[in-house]
Chain A
């Protein structure tokens, strides 16, 4: 598999939230507004990338028995760093996101990428896989936050888009609305994935037929 596919497949075909159903809790609880979704997504992506660097570069130093503990320590340290940075740079949004920033340390997406994939793969694929996973998570959070805020409150990133206080569907901001939107996005993602697979199959079949004709 070419290296860039490690990145692209994590955004659509193996999206951590929509396909693997990982990190649903923050995806539904935090995405009441686009800015909180963006902040948590960026936080997760940064923690993931920062943790991947020492985890992959010091793969030979870290023994098999100590790997899990070391990775958890690295992730926890970077989560604390990111939390401190975010609370000094964006205090209001960090307060809105609340406990979900420290909970990045136990996010299964991060732990799987650092402790699972990065331990068994070389540096570049591991880094691209982490980048793809984080970006996929960030995109889903941003999309969900944007749609829920727009539909539920008629605003985007806090600024009103419609004249007057128009709210299309206040239900969208509530938790059931989050689950409903998540399922819709998952269904849409599956539909796109099926189309992509069909296209790939067709191209493979066409190639085979061309080979047969030429032979």
Chain B
């Protein structure tokens, strides 16, 4: 009877072991990739969340800036109006002063004439 070679003796067992090894390696690799994907998704979501917060903050800043600009314009207008009013008041005062001086001079002249 012919003696069985090492390969014939252990072929099936080796094939089974190799199959299990490959499947197990696949399971481990698959889990690793899955976890990697989950971690990546988590990072992406976190990034999106941060970006949303930054966008929201930027919009708020922009609105605040617009409000400041509007308020500034209003303040400038108000200041100009106030300045004009003050000028008007000053002019009126000058006029009144001039009229008062004229009256005084007229009175003086009248007094002189009377004398």
From A63, A73, A76, A85, give the contact of B31 (CB < 8 A): A85
Q: Is the CB of A63 within 8 A of B21?
A: no
Contact A88 B13 (CB under 8 A): no
Interface residues of A in 59-105 (CB under 8 A from B): 61-63, 65-66, 69-70, 73-74, 76-78, 80-81, 84-85, 88
B10 interface contact, C-beta 8 A: yes
- With beta carbons under 8 angstroms apart, the residue of A62, A70, A77 that contacts B28 is A77
Are A63 and B12 in contact, CB atoms less than 8 angstroms apart? Answer: yes
A77 in contact with B25 (CB, 8 Å): yes
Q: Which DSSP category, helix, strand, loop or mixed, fits chain B's interface?
A: helix
**Residue on B nearest A61 in the bound complex, by CB:** B16
How many residues belonging to A are interface residues under a CB distance threshold of 8 Å? Answer: 17
Q: How far is the CA of A70 from the CA of B32 in the complex (A)?
A: 21
Select which of A65, A74, A78, A80 is within 8 A of B13 by beta carbon.
A65
Interface size class of B (residues with CB under 8 A): 10 to 19
Asked if residues A81 and B16 are in contact (CB atoms below 8 Å), the reply is no
State A142–B57 Cα separation when bound (angstroms).
Answer: 48
* Leading 3 A-B pairs by shortest Cβ distance: A77-B24, A66-B13, A65-B13
Extra A-B contacts (8), CB below 8 Å, given A63-B12, A81-B31, A85-B31: A61-B16, A65-B13, A66-B13, A70-B20, A73-B20, A74-B24, A76-B24, A77-B28
Q: Could you list which residues of chain A lie within 8 angstroms of chain B, going by C-beta atoms?
A: 61-63, 65-66, 69-70, 73-74, 76-78, 80-81, 84-85, 88
* Chain B residues at the A interface, C-beta cutoff of 8 Å: 10, 12-14, 16-17, 20-21, 24-25, 27-28, 31-32, 35, 38-39
